[in-house]
Amino acid sequence: SYELTQPPSVSVSSGQTASITCSGDKLGDKYACWYQQKPGQSPVLVIYQDSKRPSGIPERFSGSNSGNTATLTISGTQAMDEADYYCQAWDSSTGVFGTGTKVTVL
Amino acid sequence: EVQLVESGGGLVQPGGSLRLSCAASGFTFSGYWMSWVRQAPGKGLEWVANINQDGSEKYYVDSVKGRFTISRDNAKNSLYLQMNSLRAEDTAVYYCAREILGSGRWFDPWGQGTLVTVSS
């Protein structure tokens, strides 16, 4: 079955840039999206179609996808960005989520 | 406002059954694919199943095939997940989510989730 691998954790100083990777076989041939989940809350879409931001998502969130890796970048990270982040893609009509990354803002 | 509200979770014994519901409002429910996604306590997200607009196409993760059935009632703007032969590893918060199809597909929005606990 298809797998998406993320680093378990990323730490970033407030105001700096956080990059979260998502690795999967030929992931660049698929479309990737990203979800943010804060403790006790439901996931929220932050990036779709590799690099598009939904309405209401700050410009500091950006995405890319090429080769075997999709990347979520948070520029000028703020304390409110501390959360779990999950990448997601589709393989043979089934949904696949990444393993998840906990972002800690120092 | 687009809203999804799950219900039906609870405590069930191993081998038991449970039916989850998801009430949709604020959008044309019959025009969208819908999915169930679950999250075991302290764990990551796992896609469970989805269904197309008229219910003629359904897909499942391997671990629930033959035990779970997804369905919908467009007249009632509702999505369902019938869960049979439940196991301890099915313990999770179950979310329903609307699928948006474009170049790719994504989930937006998600419901608040309903907790299913399988334990004796």
Q: What is the structure's pLDDT at B103?
A: 82
Nearest-by-CA chain A residue for B107: A45
CA B118 to chain centre: 16
Nearest to B104 by CA among A61, A19, A65: A65
Whether A78 has its CB under 8 Å from any CB of chain B: the answer is no
B108–A49 CB contact, under 8 Å: no
Which amino acid does the sequence have at A2? Y
* Interatomic CA distance for residues A77 and A60, integer angstroms: 8
* Interatomic CA distance for residues B68 and A16, integer angstroms: 45
A43–B102 CB contact, under 8 Å: no
* Interatomic CA distance for residues B68 and B18, integer angstroms: 10
A97–B62 CB contact, under 8 Å: no
At A74 the three-state DSSP class reads strand
Cβ B109 vs Cβ B99: under 8 Å: no
**pLDDT tens for each residue of A2-25:** 999 999 999 999 999 999 999 999
* Interatomic CA distance for residues B60 and A95, integer angstroms: 9
Q: Out of A30, A44, A97, whose CB is closest to B47?
A: A97
Give the rounded percent of residues in chain A with a pLDDT score beyond 70.
100
B104–A97 CB contact, under 8 Å: no
Give strand pairing partners of A4. A98
Hunting for tokens 């439940």 — which residue is that? B86
Q: What is the structure's pLDDT at B104?
A: 87
CA B109 to chain centre: 13
**pLDDT tens for each residue of A28-68:** 999 999 999 999 999 999 999 999 999 999 999 999 999 99
Cβ B114 vs Cβ B80: under 8 Å: no
**pLDDT tens for each residue of B28-84:** 999 999 999 999 999 999 999 999 999 999 999 999 999 999 999 999 999 999 999
Q: What is the structure's pLDDT at B59?
A: 97
Whether A55 has its CB under 8 Å from any CB of chain B: the answer is no
Nearest-neighbour CA in chain A from B89: distance (Å): 17
Q: What is the structure's pLDDT at B37?
A: 98
Q: What is the structure's pLDDT at A92?
A: 87
Residue A43 preceded by cis peptide, ω within 30: no
Q: What is the structure's pLDDT at A20?
A: 98
